[in-house]
Amino acid sequence: MISKHISHLSLGSNLNGRFKNIQKAIQAIHDKIGRVKKISSLYKTPAWGFKGNDFYNCCIEIETVLNPELLMKSLLDIEKQLGRKRRNDQNYENRIIDIDIVLYEEEIIDTPRLSIPHPKSTERKFVLIPLCEISSKLLFPHSKKTALEHLTNCTDKSEVELLPEKINLR
Protein backbone atom coordinates (compact mmCIF):
# COMPACT_ATOMS: atom_id res chain seq x y z
CA MET A 1 0.00 0.00 0.00
CA ILE A 2 1.28 3.47 -0.89
CA SER A 3 1.67 5.86 2.05
CA LYS A 4 -0.10 9.18 1.89
CA HIS A 5 1.39 12.22 3.59
CA ILE A 6 -0.08 15.52 4.75
CA SER A 7 1.67 18.72 3.79
CA HIS A 8 0.79 22.38 4.29
CA LEU A 9 1.69 24.84 1.55
CA SER A 10 1.73 28.62 1.35
CA LEU A 11 0.91 30.29 -1.96
CA GLY A 12 1.37 33.90 -3.00
CA SER A 13 1.12 36.05 -6.12
CA ASN A 14 1.61 39.76 -6.75
CA LEU A 15 1.59 39.98 -10.55
CA ASN A 16 -0.91 39.78 -13.43
CA GLY A 17 -4.20 38.44 -12.09
CA ARG A 18 -3.19 37.39 -8.59
CA PHE A 19 -6.44 35.53 -7.87
CA LYS A 20 -6.27 33.54 -11.12
CA ASN A 21 -2.61 32.69 -10.55
CA ILE A 22 -3.37 31.19 -7.14
CA GLN A 23 -6.50 29.45 -8.44
CA LYS A 24 -4.49 27.87 -11.31
CA ALA A 25 -1.69 26.81 -8.96
CA ILE A 26 -4.07 25.11 -6.53
CA GLN A 27 -5.86 23.34 -9.37
CA ALA A 28 -2.50 22.15 -10.76
CA ILE A 29 -1.46 20.90 -7.31
CA HIS A 30 -4.74 19.01 -7.02
CA ASP A 31 -4.40 17.54 -10.53
CA LYS A 32 -0.69 16.65 -10.45
CA ILE A 33 0.47 16.29 -6.85
CA GLY A 34 -2.32 15.18 -4.56
CA ARG A 35 -5.72 15.87 -3.14
CA VAL A 36 -6.26 19.38 -1.82
CA LYS A 37 -8.05 18.80 1.48
CA LYS A 38 -8.35 22.36 2.82
CA ILE A 39 -8.05 25.83 1.30
CA SER A 40 -7.85 28.96 3.45
CA SER A 41 -9.42 32.25 2.62
CA LEU A 42 -7.47 34.64 0.43
CA TYR A 43 -5.58 37.50 2.09
CA LYS A 44 -3.96 40.66 0.74
CA THR A 45 -0.61 41.61 2.24
CA PRO A 46 2.18 44.05 1.44
CA ALA A 47 5.33 42.82 -0.30
CA TRP A 48 7.82 41.38 2.20
CA GLY A 49 11.49 42.34 1.99
CA PHE A 50 11.21 44.55 -1.13
CA LYS A 51 9.10 47.31 -2.66
CA GLY A 52 6.48 45.71 -4.88
CA ASN A 53 2.80 45.13 -5.50
CA ASP A 54 0.61 43.75 -2.71
CA PHE A 55 0.40 39.96 -2.59
CA TYR A 56 -2.58 37.67 -2.48
CA ASN A 57 -1.78 34.78 -0.12
CA CYS A 58 -3.41 31.60 1.12
CA CYS A 59 -2.50 28.23 2.61
CA ILE A 60 -3.65 24.78 1.64
CA GLU A 61 -3.48 21.32 3.14
CA ILE A 62 -2.75 18.51 0.72
CA GLU A 63 -2.51 14.74 0.83
CA THR A 64 0.24 13.34 -1.40
CA VAL A 65 2.24 10.19 -2.03
CA LEU A 66 5.30 12.27 -2.95
CA ASN A 67 8.27 12.52 -0.60
CA PRO A 68 9.37 16.05 0.37
CA GLU A 69 12.05 16.31 -2.34
CA LEU A 70 9.71 15.18 -5.13
CA LEU A 71 6.99 17.44 -3.78
CA MET A 72 9.34 20.43 -3.95
CA LYS A 73 10.42 19.53 -7.49
CA SER A 74 6.78 19.20 -8.57
CA LEU A 75 5.87 22.56 -7.01
CA LEU A 76 8.80 24.25 -8.79
CA ASP A 77 7.58 22.68 -12.06
CA ILE A 78 4.09 24.13 -11.48
CA GLU A 79 5.58 27.56 -10.75
CA LYS A 80 7.54 27.37 -14.00
CA GLN A 81 4.50 26.21 -16.01
CA LEU A 82 2.56 29.21 -14.66
CA GLY A 83 5.29 31.58 -15.84
CA ARG A 84 7.58 32.08 -12.86
CA LYS A 85 11.15 32.84 -13.80
CA ARG A 86 13.59 32.40 -10.92
CA ARG A 87 16.82 34.33 -10.70
CA ASN A 88 19.95 32.85 -9.17
CA ASP A 89 20.32 35.51 -6.49
CA GLN A 90 18.42 35.34 -3.22
CA ASN A 91 16.74 38.76 -3.50
CA TYR A 92 12.99 39.04 -3.11
CA GLU A 93 11.09 40.16 -6.21
CA ASN A 94 7.62 40.37 -7.73
CA ARG A 95 6.36 36.96 -8.77
CA ILE A 96 3.50 35.43 -10.71
CA ILE A 97 3.34 32.55 -8.23
CA ASP A 98 5.28 31.41 -5.19
CA ILE A 99 4.58 28.05 -3.57
CA ASP A 100 6.37 27.08 -0.37
CA ILE A 101 6.23 23.92 1.70
CA VAL A 102 5.49 25.16 5.21
CA LEU A 103 5.23 21.72 6.81
CA TYR A 104 5.42 18.11 5.68
CA GLU A 105 3.92 16.01 8.46
CA GLU A 106 6.37 16.18 11.38
CA GLU A 107 9.50 16.16 9.20
CA ILE A 108 12.49 18.38 9.87
CA ILE A 109 14.68 18.72 6.79
CA ASP A 110 17.63 21.07 6.40
CA THR A 111 19.57 20.56 3.18
CA PRO A 112 20.97 23.08 0.69
CA ARG A 113 17.93 22.45 -1.55
CA LEU A 114 15.12 22.11 0.99
CA SER A 115 14.23 23.36 4.47
CA ILE A 116 11.13 22.08 6.26
CA PRO A 117 9.53 23.63 8.24
CA HIS A 118 9.94 26.64 6.01
CA PRO A 119 12.56 28.72 7.85
CA LYS A 120 10.67 32.04 7.88
CA SER A 121 7.09 30.76 8.15
CA THR A 122 6.72 31.40 11.89
CA GLU A 123 7.80 35.04 11.41
CA ARG A 124 5.23 35.94 8.75
CA LYS A 125 1.59 36.75 9.39
CA PHE A 126 0.79 36.18 5.70
CA VAL A 127 1.64 32.50 6.31
CA LEU A 128 0.40 32.09 9.88
CA ILE A 129 -3.04 33.71 9.54
CA PRO A 130 -4.22 31.50 6.63
CA LEU A 131 -2.49 28.47 8.18
CA CYS A 132 -4.32 29.02 11.47
CA GLU A 133 -7.59 29.32 9.59
CA ILE A 134 -7.26 25.75 8.27
CA SER A 135 -5.12 24.11 11.03
CA SER A 136 -4.61 26.28 14.13
CA LYS A 137 -3.54 23.31 16.28
CA LEU A 138 -0.93 22.16 13.75
CA LEU A 139 2.35 21.53 15.57
CA PHE A 140 5.68 22.79 14.25
CA PRO A 141 8.13 19.97 15.02
CA HIS A 142 11.21 22.15 15.60
CA SER A 143 9.55 24.44 18.17
CA LYS A 144 6.83 22.13 19.53
CA LYS A 145 4.44 25.09 19.26
CA THR A 146 1.17 25.24 17.35
CA ALA A 147 0.51 27.53 14.42
CA LEU A 148 -1.76 29.58 16.71
CA GLU A 149 0.97 29.93 19.35
CA HIS A 150 3.37 31.14 16.66
CA LEU A 151 0.78 33.63 15.40
CA THR A 152 0.13 34.90 18.93
CA ASN A 153 3.88 35.52 19.39
CA CYS A 154 4.54 36.82 15.88
CA THR A 155 6.21 40.25 15.76
CA ASP A 156 5.34 40.91 12.09
CA LYS A 157 3.46 44.22 11.98
CA SER A 158 2.22 43.84 8.37
CA GLU A 159 -1.42 44.54 7.57
CA VAL A 160 -3.26 41.38 6.49
CA GLU A 161 -6.61 41.98 4.79
CA LEU A 162 -9.19 39.22 4.33
CA LEU A 163 -10.48 39.22 0.74
CA PRO A 164 -14.00 38.19 -0.36
CA GLU A 165 -12.88 36.00 -3.29
CA LYS A 166 -13.13 32.23 -2.73
CA ILE A 167 -10.93 29.65 -4.41
CA ASN A 168 -12.75 26.64 -5.79
CA LEU A 169 -11.52 23.46 -7.43
CA ARG A 170 -13.26 22.39 -10.60
Catalytic residue among 84, 87, 89, 156: 84
Question: Rounded to 5 degrees, what are φ and ψ at 162?
Answer: -70, 130
Give how far Cα 2 sits from Cα of 32, 109, 118, Å: 16, 22, 26
- C-alpha–C-alpha distance, residues 129 and 126, integer Å: 6
31 is catalytic: no
Nearest C-alpha neighbor of 29 from the set 61, 69, 67, 56: 61
Catalytic residue among 100, 113, 124, 170: 100
54 is catalytic: no
Q: Note whether 8 and 46 are within 8 A (CB).
A: no
Catalytic residue among 98, 110, 113, 124: 98
Question: What radius of gyration do the chain's Cα atoms show?
Answer: 15
Catalytic residue among 18, 31, 89, 95: 95
Q: Which residues are catalytic?
A: 84, 95, 98, 100
